[in-house]
Structure 1
Amino acid sequence: MKITAFNGSPNAEQSHTNIIVQKFLEGAKLAGAEVDNVFLIKQNIHHCQGCFSCWFKTPGQCIFTDDMKNLLEKYMSSDIVCFATPVYTWNMTAALKNFVDRLVPLRCPVATQAEGNYDMKIRTKMPDTIVISNSGFPGENNFETIKAVFKSANPILEIYRNSGKLLKTNNDEIKATVDEYLSYVKEAGFEIVNNGKISDNLKTKLQMELVRPEEYVKMMNL
């Protein structure tokens, strides 16, 4: 099994989001998966121009010659792809959105309909999807837009981490809680590879609080 994470954080390796991604991939690798962590901010990806040449003139091929050619190969050779992003103004980062827009060559101009929902036909079997998102604010409401955006991708797993700045805390007590949480993220990576899903018990653990929201807000306001 091959799992590729497409990490949309502008801070790349140094990001809080990447702490979660790394731990998830660590668990997946332990279960025998081949893993890759792609930092989109370091890739040369032009913006989609909406010309649809990749549908009508050169099916499956974009007009731009940039890093997306190799990234599309990584995408389609993966069994599971992970979209990873911090929350920027309620949504994914521009780096990830730009990448997602450039996935359009994987579809073709034939409308499909399933249960009243319309989409464009895919050219070939698509990999399963996982979403990992991190917010610097407390509360699950910060992820409502991202959940809605990725709903169409039918993700097999979604990991949403609020109060995410605590992932780099120097407070020993909080760090112990963070380490516990990250052990569950690692376990999720392991279970996805072995079972194709995670247990309901583990889903609950992934939603654990790192600190009470009121305490976190006090830390933010210092």
Structure 2
Amino acid sequence: MKFIAFNGSPSGADSSTNVITEAFLRGAAKAGANTENIFLIDKKIEYCKGCFACWFKTPGKCVLQDDMKKLLDKYNEADIVCFASPVYTWNMTAVLKNFVDRLIPLKSPLIINSGGEFDLVDSKPKTQQFVVISNCGFPGNNNFKTMKAVFASCNPVLEIYRSCGKLLKNKDAKIGAAVNQYLHVVEQAGYELAKQNHISEKTKSNLDMQLMSIPDYVKYIGMQFA
């Protein structure tokens, strides 16, 4: 089984998002999965021009010559595709959004009408399952509403949303103990998905564990309630 994470954090390997992603992939690897963590900020990915040549002139192939061709090959090889991004203004980062926009060659100009809801036919049968990983530096799961709505279209088998994300790289022993406990659960989620193709309800529930009280966290990030 192949797990590939496409990490859209501008901070790349040094990001808090990557702390979660690495734990998830580590668990998958322990279950025997082949894993890869790709930092999109390090890749040359031009903006989609909306020319639709990949549909009508060169089906499945983009006219732009950059790193996206190899990334599409990796995407197609994966059994589990993980989209990873911090929350930037309620949504995924521009880095990840640009990558997602460039997935358009995977669609075709054939339209499906399903009860008045319209979508495009995949150019090839979609075999991947999808995972979403995101962290936010503020408290509250409301910060992930837009992210959840955007990724609902790919019907993810697992969504890991971590509020109070600034704690993930903290070196304080007490905070670190809570973070390590959380990352162990994330690792378990990766292990379960690779081993049995689903996540237990206990693990899903534990993914929402609180790392610090909200009042304490607001103080920790140097802010205050209005």
> TM-score by structure 2 length?
0.96
Which whole-Å deviations, capped at 9, do the CAs of 1:30-84 have from their partners, x for residues lacking one? 0000000000000000000101000001100111011000000000000010000
- In the alignment, which residue of structure 1 is the partner of 2:42? 42
SS at match of 1:160: strand
Matches within 5 A, 1:4-19: 4-19=4-19
Q: Cα distance, 1:125 vs. partner?
A: 2.5
Name the CA distance, whole Å, in 2 between partners of 1:217 and 1:114: 45
Say which is worse superposed, 19-28 or 194-203, in terms of deviation. 194-203
Name the CA distance, whole Å, in 2 between partners of 1:116 and 1:198: 33
Name the CA distance, whole Å, in 2 between partners of 1:42 and 1:152: 27
- Alignment of 1:91 with 2:73, yes or no, is no
Which consecutive residues of structure 2, in runs of 5 or more, have no partner in the other structure?
Answer: none
Say which is worse superposed, 210-219 or 123-132, in terms of deviation. 123-132
Identity within the alignment, %: 54
Which whole-Å deviations, capped at 9, do the CAs of 1:155-196 have from their partners, x for residues lacking one? 000000000010111221111010000000000000001111
- In the alignment, which residue of structure 1 is the partner of 2:189? 188
Residues 114 and 80 (structure 1 numbering): CA distance in 2 closer, same or farther, change over 3 Å? farther
- Alignment of 1:140 with 2:141, yes or no, is yes
Say which is worse superposed, 166-175 or 129-138, in terms of deviation. 166-175
Name the CA distance, whole Å, in 1 between partners of 2:57 and 2:117: 27
Matches within 5 A, 1:22-37: 22-37=22-37
Which whole-Å deviations, capped at 9, do the CAs of 1:135-157 have from their partners, x for residues lacking one? 00010000000000000000000
Matches within 5 A, 1:115-134: 116-126=116-126, 127-134=128-135
SS at match of 1:22: helix
- In the alignment, which residue of structure 1 is the partner of 2:75? 75
Q: Cα distance, 1:118 vs. partner?
A: 1.7
Name the CA distance, whole Å, in 2 between partners of 1:206 and 1:102: 31
Runs of 4+ in 1 over 2 A off after TM superposition: 113-117
Name the CA distance, whole Å, in 2 between partners of 1:101 and 1:212: 37
RMSD (Å) for aligned C-alpha atoms? 0.9
Residues 94 and 56 (structure 1 numbering): CA distance in 2 closer, same or farther, change over 3 Å? same
Name the CA distance, whole Å, in 2 between partners of 1:219 and 1:5: 30
Name the CA distance, whole Å, in 2 between partners of 1:26 and 1:115: 41
Q: Cα distance, 1:117 vs. partner?
A: 3.0
Tell me the amino acid that sits aligned with residue 170 of structure 2. T
What is the total number of aligned residue pairs between the two structures?
222
